[in-house]
Structure 1
Amino acid sequence: MDVETYCSFLLGWIMARFGTMIFANHCIARLIPTITVEKIAALLSAHLKGLLVSHELAKLSLLNELYYDTKEGRGN
């Protein structure tokens, strides 16, 4: 997948997540003629990796809160 297509999709996905649907629809519409199974697989893979990273960051944040709550005596 070329960089321009990937960045276009990624920007569209980010904007969709933050509510700017018109921009997202424009970016995704540009991809429709060029979508292949490999591109879909790569995009899904990138999306899943992003979800895993955000999940890991959320776990670290929660662990950090639990650590400081316990350290300050608020955990019990």
Structure 2
Amino acid sequence: MVKDADMNRAMQEDAVYIAANAIDEHNTEQEIARYIKIQFDHKHKPYWHCIVGGTFSSNVTMRFQLLRNHEKQNV
């Protein structure tokens, strides 16, 4: 069940399918998360984060680099 997502419907269905397979094929939360991340990196292009568990903490740092190119056009 997907409660809330900003993915399109096909990607949501794929996520549910991949997660179900991960749970069936792996025993630990770490293995499940790794499987889901690898599948999503491959199918939906990198880079994905996957966190699995009932009680956990996380600390994620991201760095964005942005290049803007503005051209002035005579109108």
| Fold shared, TM-score > 0.5 on shorter chain | no
Which TM-score applies when normalising by structure 2? Answer: 0.32
Which structure would you say has the larger RCO, counting Cα contacts within 8 Å and 6 or more residues apart? 1
Q: Which has the higher helix share?
A: 1
